[in-house]
Homo-oligomer: A and B are copies of this chain.
């Protein structure tokens, strides 16, 4: 009975996600859904990427957060239009939240929309929102067992950013194991090691974004 309810919820969600997707295609925007555990560095990495992309592309950001506008304020400061979704108690964004959010861009022509999901390794991977690609950020501070423990997000993502690699000398995490376990779950996943602190890998990430934009 409970499983039936969950299935109904996911099906209703997917149908809204498809109609969001159609609207995004019509707008010409490519949409990236950015997911990670709390504190993996989504917002910091996003800010770094936006600064490198904003002169060449029109970008909008949708920020998901339980209760605050802290992240949205940071994005606004660098001059990118941003829409805030406060989920209340919900631990993920869903397609209906996105359907209600993107009209706030008020018909602006956008090349890229980046959706920053709620910090959570589980449910955000279950709820499509109409994105073209899911991007997952995994901080090495979380240890090397996360692909096995949270497999769905690794399976669903097109790109895995392994973050905070500047801390590796103090952690000694088995990064090769993270990569090989992620590849076992999802042989097609691209993997880039990044550090917002040293800038390592950021150019590769920007190149990845550019190469995945919809042709206009």
Q: Interface residues, chain A, CB within 8 Å of chain B? A: 5-6, 37-39, 65-68, 70, 89-91, 118-123, 126, 139, 141-143, 145-146, 148-152, 164, 167, 170-171
Contacts and interface: CB of A to CB of B under 8 A. Distances in A.
A141 to B, nearest CB: 4
B151 A119 contact: no
A194 to B, nearest CB: 15
Contacts of A150: 38, 66, 119
Contact of A70 (B66, B123, B145): B145
Given A37-B38, A66-B151, A119-B150, 6 more contacts: A37-B119, A38-B150, A65-B149, A66-B122, A67-B149, A68-B149
Contacts of A5: 5
Contacts of A118: 122
A139 B39 contact: yes
Nearest to A96: B2
A143 B91 contact: no
Contacts of A91: 91, 120, 122-123
A156 to B, nearest CB: 12
